[in-house]
Structure 1
Amino acid sequence: MVKYLGLHETLEVHELLTFKNLCLTKSTTMGPLAQDEELKTILSNDVSAGQQHIQQLQQILTNREANQ
């Protein structure tokens, strides 16, 4: 599937990767500042999920570049 990504699809994945990096940065930065324990848990879970999503997006881009 990955080797069939067009240029516009690759750019869209790159935009998603940029957005996820921004979200991860914000959650990581705001986590220690949060006083509510439930909010800290939500931000911590978001950091974990965001890291996984970023790895998946990076893998898509890496595989796409290797298959050209």
Structure 2
Amino acid sequence: MAKNKLAIHEVLEIHEMLTLKQAGLVKGYVSEPLIKDEKLQKIARKHLKNTEQAISELKQLLPNKA
């Protein structure tokens, strides 16, 4: 977690990035079963894994809800 206090505009930017990443993740999971090419499936799965990691990292930047 970030040790420095974030400004409100920074928190809002992180929320916006999270929203976009999460929407892309949902779209990716919905589209994945439709992919027939094995090479493309592998790329899509790697992208989903990377997106999940990015979401996790972005969440760690947000201040705790106390």
TM-score normalised by L of structure 1: 0.83
Identity %: 37
Q: Deviations over 1:11-61 (max 9, x none)?
A: 000000000001111111111111111111111001100111111111111
One-letter identity of the residue aligned with 2:27: K
SS of 1:26's partner is helix
Q: Unpaired runs of 5+ in structure 2?
A: none
Equivalent pairs counted in the alignment come to: 65
Residue of structure 2 in register with 1:11 after alignment: 12
Q: Distance in 1 between matches of 2:64 and 2:13?
A: 14
Q: Distance in 2 between matches of 1:42 and 1:29?
A: 15
Q: How far 1:65 moved relative to its partner?
A: 3.7
- The CA RMSD over aligned residues, in Å, is 1.9
Residue of structure 1 in register with 2:23 after alignment: 22
* Runs of 4+ more than 3 Å apart: none
Residue of structure 2 in register with 1:34 after alignment: 35
Greater RCO (CA < 8 Å, at least 6 residues apart): 2
Counterpart contact for 1:28–1:43, Cα < 8 Å: no
Q: Distance in 2 between matches of 1:8 and 1:65?
A: 16
